[in-house]
Amino acid sequence: MDVVSSGQACGAAVTGVDLSQPLSDTVVADIRAAWLEHHVLAFPDQRLTDDDLERFTLYFGPFGEDPFIAPLPGREHVLAIRREADERAPLFAENWHTDWSFQEHPPQGTCLYGIAIPPTGGDTLYANQHAALDAMPAKLRGKIDGKMAIHSAKNAYAPDGTYGEADAAKGRSMDIRPSNEAEATQLHAIIRKHPETGREGLYSCIGYIAGIEGMSQEDALPLLMELYEWQTRDAFVYRHRWQPNMLVMWDNRSVLHRATGGYEGHARLLHRTTIGSA
């Protein structure tokens, strides 16, 4: 197996392994070590069925729980990230976020497999949150040290959220199911240690953070915006360019991510699984 760093803030390409076949414990351990080092791994030229994608996911943890998006028909754990060539709905997942950080036990990681990839655009961006914390000015760090963030899916998936009832009328091809359950909140430390490497990093961002425990919204929101601007600076970002038949796995404990557009007139389809908390 060869692992070649992207040369950017995180990310590496992995070749020399066939993910359509069962993997030995040694290979799984090597992939896990590379994942913890680079946070985002891309495996080009993999011909995978949904069964292969599920098998690969389960080498790294149980399936995570995916609320608000219906799985593919006949599958419990595979979601379609889909956009039709003529779709006019706002882009899905264009804001920086960490998958499902509003859960009590958020997922370790996410796997995304490219099926229909447009000739240009549609890159996914990743922001390394260990690097963002390491380089953070002491003054900003002092404002967030020891603070607990209030996470919630309400701005995205409540009936009046971005993907709520009004969104359904925009002709979105993804099967999103808004719900009042999105109003629930969950606390997580803003600065926390990665559970496997022990490395400190920033966890999640204003995409799913609705406030800060013990602070008024008047004080918390400007601080969350200041933090967001720092977390997503170009210096911490890896731009991932997709190819068909490429699998990417990212570590939600280490990176933020977001989708980008720029492929109007072309369809884009990827299948996604979630690596649950260990």
Give min distance, CB of 248 to ligand SIN, in A. Answer: 9
Burial 113-147 (b: 16+ CB within 10 A, else e): bbbbbbeeebbbbbbbbbbbbeebeeeeeeebeeb
CB of 255 closer than 8 Å to CB of 25: no
**Would you count residue 127 as binding ligand SIN (CB under 6 A)?**
no
- In three-state secondary structure terms, 141 is helix
Distance CA 35, CA 52 (A): 19
Residue choice 272, 273, 274, 277 for contact with ligand SIN (CB under 6 A): 272
Looking at the Cβ atoms of 144 and 155, the one nearer to ligand SIN is 155
59 to 88: interface string for ligand SIN, x by CB under 6 A: ----------------------x-------
Looking at the Cβ atoms of 46 and 110, the one nearer to ligand SIN is 110
Tell me how far apart the terminal alpha carbons of the chain are, to the nearest angstrom: 25
* Residues contacting 146, CB < 8 A, separation 6+: 189, 191
Distances (CA, A) of 271 to 31, 50, 82, 94, 245: 20, 8, 8, 17, 11
**Would you count residue 204 as binding ligand SIN (CB under 6 A)?**
no
Residue choice 257, 273, 276, 277 for contact with ligand SIN (CB under 6 A): 257
Looking at the Cβ atoms of 81 and 150, the one nearer to ligand SIN is 81
**Would you count residue 172 as binding ligand SIN (CB under 6 A)?**
no
Count of positions on this chain that bind ligand SIN (CB under 6 A): 6
Question: How many C-beta neighbours within 10 Å does residue 106 have?
Answer: 23
Query: Which residue matches tokens 């992939």?
Result: 31
Looking at the Cβ atoms of 94 and 200, the one nearer to ligand SIN is 94
Residue choice 101, 124, 128, 231 for contact with ligand SIN (CB under 6 A): 124
Q: Which tokens belong to 257?
A: 């991510």
Backbone CA torsion sign across 53, 247, 156, 183: positive
**Would you count residue 153 as binding ligand SIN (CB under 6 A)?**
no
Give min distance, CB of 109 to ligand SIN, in A. Answer: 12
Looking at the Cβ atoms of 115 and 136, the one nearer to ligand SIN is 115
**Would you count residue 271 as binding ligand SIN (CB under 6 A)?**
no
Residue choice 36, 69, 93, 189 for contact with ligand SIN (CB under 6 A): 93
**Would you count residue 259 as binding ligand SIN (CB under 6 A)?**
yes
Strand partners, 269: 82, 116
Comparing CA positions, the residue from 21, 84, 29, 10 lying closest to residue 48 is 21
Looking at the Cβ atoms of 93 and 136, the one nearer to ligand SIN is 93
Per CB under 6 A, which of residues 217..246 are in contact with ligand SIN?
A: none
Side chain identity, residue 215: M
Residues that bind ligand SIN (CB under 6 A): 81, 93, 124, 257, 259, 272
